[in-house]
Structures are given as structure tokens and as C-alpha cells.
Amino acid sequence: MEMEDDSLLLLPSGEGASVDLLHANEASNEYNNTEHENPETKGRKRERLTLGQKRQVVDLASSNQFTHRELAEKFQVGRTTITNICKNTELIRNETDSADIVKKKRKTTKCTYDLKILDEALHKWRMEVKVSNPEVKMTGATLQNKAMQLAHSMLADPYIRLPEKVQAALSKFSASNGWLDGYRTRFGSFSTRLTSDQTVIKQVDFQTRLREIHHILDNVDPQDIWTGSEFALVSKPPSATQPETSRLTVSLFVNAAGETFDLQVIGTERGGGPPCDMEALDLREKYRIMYDVSKTGWQVAHTCMHVLKQLNALAKSRKRHFHVILDSAVPHVKAAMMLDSLGDQRTFFLYESLRILFLPPNFNLAKCHPLHLGLITTFKARFRYEELDALFSRCRNQASLMDPQLQWTLKNVLHWLSVALHSLEPSDIVSTWIQSGLLPSSTVASVMSYHRVSARPSKAVEDLQWLLTEIAAQMPPFLPWIGIPEANAQLWIDMEGKASVTDPGVDDVQIIRSVLVKHGYLEMRPGNLEESVEGIVSSSANVSEPVPNKRDVWEAIDLLKRYVRVSGQAPHIPSIVALNALKSSTANLS
């Protein structure tokens, strides 16, 4: 599983004399703008922008996606400063282009090149600590000590596969002051104490932030407005013989036009062996699923960054710019900060074709987040329905009853998850967006003109309850046999309760391994879809499920066509057309 990482922001170490005029203008602008600054920004330390940051300002301004006020909030300077920087666009571009040419001509020392993975791991750790532990004093000595710890951890990892020159550089690494100066040049300077936007955004009430989001989303196409959230899913209920459960973390993203993005599933990293590589299994092609792992099986910074990068790739392929609204869970903020280290949780983060907006920490997910207004419940109900229907069908159609616990292979679970994803109706997704209140009125009017929004909740829970009741009547022992004590759909959907899904901590091993995976320096074992959800190869892997022959398939389809026609259920014609298409697709069966 490859996780690229372009989170490393390289800033020029100094500014030439030819831009002194820019500094003079900026100082004057700060003086002239103090009387007109936004009350919310009072008390926030004004920043003196580097040449690299000024280049970012002019590039963002020229994209016509951001107002000068938004840029001023993002870079924590006055609006007049932004205006005057934009007046010097050509000068700034010439200076940064010249600096890039000089930098390319500069020779990089062998030590610096060979310690690239250490620098990247330290940068990630620094960004994570900034969110998780903002009270930590980030002195030069702190970074030197941490760099030494990371170097020793890399050398001690039994599954690391480093080139000889990189391993030699890590072995000789001493975290000297010279290395520290180089690190500061490559990744920007650091303050004695890292400041956190958490304090600032916590002071913002929900209605204020909602008005700001409405302003930003005004005139944005609904297909470019996205949100996402995680939830726990017990993939296998407990049984009398196996009382433990197997849980996954599922991350679902939807847009305001009713579209779903590929599902992210996060499993637990198994101990006692190298990490599992699921990339070669083409899970996105087969199931529309991205499978990641973390130490706890929860969402962490690098797994969140992975799904955001994939969403960014979709935006770039469509030549669009997506606005992504997230709650302030720690891994979300960490991921955004790694993608845009100049971003601001109070305003926004910018990464290529993504503009990431955060809701305040006091935001009530249950009342105002689209996914928590019924979509997650619908998804779980559809997953449980497909899971239960598949298990009961296999049990009923086999002469000798197999242990149902053997059916919870990774392949089956991913299939059930994929069915649940494809079962989400665009109208239901749009309805939850409207209920959330996150969309401005003009966008609500736009989506309602394209979708029939029903006030009636999804039938998913009702359908699951019907199936449970039917099975309990036909084969009473079956439900307890697979770990379901009673035929109650809502109890089964709520099995996870309020289980944690995001990890707020800082884990050095996960940070190191995410960097090593990016560079191909970590041994990986091939993924196996026949594993059980606990990571053990199932004994049912050797029992292949036979493919029905053409005669059996056609008889089943003909029976369904007759049922649709005779029962008179409307609309029966489209159903028959769909069954005819299914029948034609079986032409190659033997």
C-alpha cells in the first residue's frame, strides 16, 4: 500500500535585497491596518511572511478562488498587506524563480540526501505534536533528541530494508547543530512553543462558523462540496465459541449532489509479522474500497491523509476544486496540517485541488453532520442485510451446515461493505445535507431542483427487521448460532455503541512506517482475501464456492421474471428489462 507524502513544505532560507521594498511596504501596511483589523484576529500574533509565502499569496490570489480577506486570515496578516503583495506580483515571481534556479544549482551534501527519511519522519512528528500536545516546547534540543530516537527506531525495526548508504548515514547520525540548521532551512523555522489553532477555533460559536461556511460555499457547485466521517463497524458478531468481536473503522465521504466516494476501511495492524500490502489486490477496482491499517484499527493522521489525497486525485481528474468539510477530530487536523503546513484550522487548509474547512470542536455531529443524520445508520443496515442474507443462504443451500464463523473472510466482508456503499441512494444523501444546515440557501434550492427529497426515512432498517423476522420464523436456531441474540434490527445496528474511531495520540512507529512505505524501504507481506477478519487464514479458504451453471442461473432468472409479471407489482417492466440484461450477461457460462 503506497502512501505518497507531499506534505513537506520547503521554504527559501532568505530573501534577496531586491525585495527590501516589499518588506518596507509590509511594515507600513501593518501599521496602517491595525485600526481596521477583524476583532476575531485581535490577540493573534501577526506573521512576517517569507518570500515563499508571498509567492503562495500571489498564486492563490491569481487563481480567483480566494478573496483578499480570506488570504489575510489564512496568513495572519492585514488585508492591506495582501493587497500590496499582489501589486508586486511580477517582482515576487521573478525573485522566487531566481531563487529556485540558484537552489537547483546548489550541491546537496551526501549526508543530507541520505537522511531524507529521518527529516520527513521528524517533520511528521512535529506536525502531529502541534495538534496533540500543543503545550510541548519545541526547542532545538527537543528536535535533536527526537531525531536521535527516530534514527535508533528505524535501525531497530526488523522489517526495514534500507540502502547501505542510508543505513550508514543513520548509524553515524549525531543530531549536530549543523544538521539542525539544515533541517530549519529545509522545513522552515520553528518557535519555542508551538501554537495551536484549537484554542482559537474553540472560542468560535457554531453559528458564526456556519455563517462563514455558507459564505465560502455560496455559488459552489453541489458536486464540489464534500464531507466525510468515520464510524466503527463490528464485522463479525460474537458467538458461543468465539466471544470476541472483530471491528473495523469505516470512513465514508459523500458530496452535496448525492455522490459517494470510494469507501475507506481501516483494519488493525497485526503483530508478529511485516505489514500487509493490500495494493496488489485491486480492491478499489473490485469493491470501490481502500484498505488501510493502523496500530489500533482507528483513523490516524497518515490514513486520513491517504483518503484526502485520493479525493484530491478525483478532483484533479475532473479538473474541479473540492471543498471538504470535516469535524475537528485530531487525525483530521493533523492530516490537513501535513498537507498544508501554512493552513489554519480557523480559516481553511489548501492542498492542490482541495480546500479543507473545519467545524468547531463543540459541533454537534448527531444534529448537524450529514452522515450522522441517518446515512451511517442506513449504511450499517444495508451491510447487515447483505451479511445476514448471504450467511443464511449458504447455510440453507448446503446439505451439511458449515460453521458460520468460517464465512467471515476478508473477501466476504469487503463484498458486503461494497454492496452497502452502492445501496446508498442519492436522494437520501441530499436529504441529509439539507437537514444538516451546512449548505447555503442557494445551494439547497439547486439540489432540490435535481432530486426528489423525501421526508420519509430510508427503508433500510425496516428491510433488515423484515429479514430478521423471516429467518427467525423459518430457522429459529440460526440467529443465535451466528451470534445474534434476538431479531431486533436496531440493536444489531447499534452493536458498536460509541466506540472510538479516531486516535488522538502520536505513535512514532506509525509515523516511521508511513515514511518507509512511501520510499519502498519496508518489507511487506502480500495481502490475502481468504484471511478471516482477525488476520488468520480461514479453514474455509480451501472450500471453494462452486459457480452455478448456466441452466441453474437461467432457471432462477426465469422464476424471478414470472414472479414480477404475475405478482403485478409496479413498476414491473423495468425489473424485467434488468433481468433480461442479467440473463444476457451469462452467455459465457458453461
CATH number for the domain spanning 473: value is: 3.30.420
Amino acid identity, position 493 = I
Residue ending a domain, among 469, 487, 505, is: 487
313 and 412 housed in the same domain: yes
576 and 462 housed in the same domain: no
Q: How far apart are CA 237 and CA 247, in angstroms?
A: 9
444 and 563 housed in the same domain: no
230 and 333 housed in the same domain: yes
367 inside domain: yes
- Percent of the chain at pLDDT exceeding 90: 27
pLDDT digits (tens, 9 = 90+) for 229-276: 999 998 776 655 555 557 889 999 999 999 999 999 998 877 666 677
Q: Residue 344: which pLDDT band, with cuts at 50, 70 and 90? A: confident
Residue 17 has pLDDT above 80, yes or no: no
Residue ending a domain, among 453, 487, 521, is: 487
Residue 551 has pLDDT above 50, yes or no: yes
562 and 466 housed in the same domain: no
pTM of the full structure: 0.76
Contacts of 42 (CB under 8 A, 6+ apart): none
Q: Could you give the number of structural domains in the chain?
A: 3
Residue 196 has pLDDT above 70, yes or no: no
206 inside domain: no
pLDDT in the model for residue 514? 85
- Percent of the chain at pLDDT exceeding 70: 77
pLDDT in the model for residue 590? 67
Peptide bond into 12 cis (omega under 30): no
Q: Specify the CATH number for the domain of residue 86.
A: 1.10.10
Residue 381 has pLDDT above 90, yes or no: yes
Q: Please state, as a whole number, how many other Cβ atoms lie within 10 Å of the Cβ of residue 220.
A: 19
Q: Residue 101: which pLDDT band, with cuts at 50, 70 and 90? A: low
Query: Which residue did the predictor score with more confidence, 452 or 556?
Result: 556
Q: How far apart are CA 349 and CA 475, in angstroms?
A: 55
392 and 483 housed in the same domain: yes
303 and 392 housed in the same domain: yes
83 and 224 housed in the same domain: no
Q: Apex CA 499: angle with CA 496 and CA 503, to 5°?
A: 145
Q: Residue 82: which pLDDT band, with cuts at 50, 70 and 90? A: confident
293 and 419 housed in the same domain: yes
Q: Residue 486: which pLDDT band, with cuts at 50, 70 and 90? A: confident
pLDDT in the model for residue 102? 53
Mapping DSSP to helix (H, G, I), strand (E, B) and coil, where does residue 31 land?
helix
> Which range, 5-14, 66-75, 533-542, is most confident?
66-75
Helices (H), 280-324: 283-287, 301-318
Residue 283 has pLDDT above 90, yes or no: no
252 and 380 housed in the same domain: yes
pLDDT in the model for residue 30? 40
pLDDT in the model for residue 201? 56
pLDDT in the model for residue 79? 83
501 inside domain: no
Q: How far apart are CA 539 and CA 518, in angstroms?
A: 34
pLDDT digits (tens, 9 = 90+) for 407-426: 777 888 999 999 999 999 99
467 inside domain: yes
Residue 453 has pLDDT above 50, yes or no: yes
Residue 587 has pLDDT above 80, yes or no: no
pLDDT in the model for residue 484? 84
Residue 85 has pLDDT above 80, yes or no: yes
Compute the Cα dihedral for 7, 13, 18, 19 and give only its sign: positive
pLDDT digits (tens, 9 = 90+) for 320-334: 999 999 998 989 999
330 and 404 housed in the same domain: yes
Contacts of 184 (CB under 8 A, 6+ apart): 190
> Which range, 7-21, 458-472, 478-492, is most confident?
458-472
As a whole number, mean pLDDT of residues 533-554 equals: 61
**26, 84 Cβ separation under 8 angstroms:** yes
pLDDT in the model for residue 482? 79
pLDDT in the model for residue 422? 95
pLDDT in the model for residue 26? 42
Residue 296 has pLDDT above 70, yes or no: yes
pLDDT in the model for residue 271? 64
167 inside domain: no
Query: Which residue did the predictor score with more confidence, 52 or 469?
Result: 469
Number of helices (H), then strands (E), belonging to the chain: the values are 26, 9
As a whole number, mean pLDDT of residues 187-208 equals: 59
Q: Residue 430: which pLDDT band, with cuts at 50, 70 and 90? A: very high
Question: What average pLDDT does the structure give for the chain?
Answer: 79
Residue 123 has pLDDT above 60, yes or no: yes
Specify the pairing of strand 349-351 against strand 354-358: antiparallel
Q: How far apart are CA 297 and CA 245, in angstroms?
A: 13
Q: Please state, as a whole number, how many other Cβ atoms lie within 10 Å of the Cβ of residue 541.
A: 15
388 and 479 housed in the same domain: yes
pLDDT in the model for residue 113? 62
**301, 331 Cβ separation under 8 angstroms:** yes
Nearest Cα to 515, choosing from 11, 142, 8? Answer: 8
Query: Which residue did the predictor score with more confidence, 458 or 14?
Result: 458
Query: Which residue did the predictor score with more confidence, 170 or 458?
Result: 170
pLDDT in the model for residue 361? 81
Q: Residue 539: which pLDDT band, with cuts at 50, 70 and 90? A: very low
Residue 394 has pLDDT above 60, yes or no: yes
Helices (H), 63-109: 68-75, 79-87, 89-105
Helix (H) / strand (E) element for 504: namely none
Q: How far apart are CA 200 and CA 40, in angstroms?
A: 9
State the DSSP code for 258: S
Q: Could you give the C-alpha distances from 69 to 15, 39, 203, 216, in angstroms and in order?
A: 25, 13, 20, 12
pLDDT in the model for residue 195? 47
111 inside domain: no
Q: Residue 220: which pLDDT band, with cuts at 50, 70 and 90? A: very high
Residue 65 has pLDDT above 50, yes or no: yes
Range in 96-110, 184-198, 403-417, 510-524 with the lowest mean pLDDT: 96-110
100 inside domain: yes
Q: Residue 150: which pLDDT band, with cuts at 50, 70 and 90? A: very high
Q: Which residue range(s) make up the domain with 434?
A: 216-487
Range in 30-34, 201-205, 263-267 with the lowest mean pLDDT: 30-34
Q: How far apart are CA 13 and CA 377, in angstroms?
A: 51
Range in 161-175, 220-234, 531-545, 555-569 with the lowest mean pLDDT: 531-545
pLDDT digits (tens, 9 = 90+) for 515-530: 888 888 887 777 667 6
Query: Which residue did the predictor score with more confidence, 158 or 228?
Result: 228
By the 10 Å C-beta count (0-12 exposed, 13-18 middle, 19+ buried), 72 is classed as buried
Q: How far apart are CA 106 and CA 89, in angstroms?
A: 26
Residue 479 has pLDDT above 80, yes or no: yes
State the DSSP code for 193: B
**249, 346 Cβ separation under 8 angstroms:** no
Residue ending a domain, among 88, 105, 122, is: 105
438 inside domain: yes
